[in-house]
Homo-oligomer: A and B are copies of this chain.
Amino acid sequence: MPRAEFLRQQSTHLALAELKAACANCNLREICLPAGLTEQELDQIDTLVDVRRKVRRGEALYRAGEVFDAIFAVRSGFFKSRVTFEDGRDQVTGFFMGGEVIGMDGISHGTYNCDAVALEDSVVCSIPYARLEDLAREVTGLQRHFHKMMSREIVRESGVMMLLGVMRAEERIAAFLLNLSQRLAARGYSALEFNLRMTREEIGSYLGLKLETVSRAFSKFHTDGLIKIDQKSVRIIDVEGLKNVYARHVR
């Protein structure tokens, strides 16, 4: 049995009792799927979240080709999404942290389009799509916010296309660090000091670069006094300097 498959079977489903009105009591509700719902609407969606599921580091929450039936909100932990090309080459298409929703790529064909892999031990809230569809018809705020989340994913991906299409290596990496920083800050973590959950290779795959290029850029930023970096630990010293790496681009 492949290790990932073994791990999957070990995943424990948390007790349903814990989940009553899961969203109403969740500290991520302001940035997660129920964002913007009224108190009353929050009560209406207390059957939205089916179950929480643990996903261990390295395990796939879902894989490309599996039948789609739910989207997932990251409760804690960290994920990457990844698409694999026919010849085996693959590309990381995103990194996801608490409050972010993944799996919406599965709606179009009824099967997931990518793999979602946990980069650390994680917990997700499973949201059956059929139930979401039903509730969205009754709870206007939920419908609106779900549409926003899908749209936000479209916008996010356009941003990545921009990274990949027009930015140079150091610009991509500066943008990547600033984006991580800003998302961590929105969750109450330090914007200036954090640990990378992913390897240089995964960062490179996401940014269309090789791991050596990522490593060299980190070293350069370190030398230039923009950041301090030691393995996975990052400290941003000069936010403006980092922004200038790409904003000041002249050609």
CB-based contact B162/A107 at 8 Å: no
The minimal Cβ–Cβ distance linking A169 to chain B, given in whole angstroms, is 13
Tallying the copies of this chain within the complex gives: 2
Whether A136 is near chain B, meaning CB under 8 Å from some CB there, is yes
The interface residues of chain B lying within 8 Å CB-to-CB of A104 are: 150-151, 154
Whether A93 is near chain B, meaning CB under 8 Å from some CB there, is yes
Q: Of B155, B165, B205, which contacts A109 at CB under 8 A? A: B155
Whether A105 is near chain B, meaning CB under 8 Å from some CB there, is yes
Give the docked Cα–Cα distance between A154 and B108 (Å).
9
Whether A106 is near chain B, meaning CB under 8 Å from some CB there, is yes
The interface residues of chain B lying within 8 Å CB-to-CB of A1 are: none
Given contacts A93-B158, A158-B113, A161-B161, contact A166 B108 (CB under 8 A): no
A136-168 interface bits toward B, Cβ cutoff 8 Å, 1 = contact, 0 = none: 110010011001111111110111111011100
CB contact list, A59-99 vs B, under 8 A: 83, 85-87, 89-91, 93
Given contacts A113-B155, A144-B133, A155-B113, contact A164 B105 (CB under 8 A): no
CB-based contact B87/A247 at 8 Å: yes
CB-based contact A161/B164 at 8 Å: yes
Whether A208 is near chain B, meaning CB under 8 Å from some CB there, is yes
CB contact list, A86-140 vs B, under 8 A: 86-87, 89-91, 93, 104-109, 113-114, 133, 136-137, 140
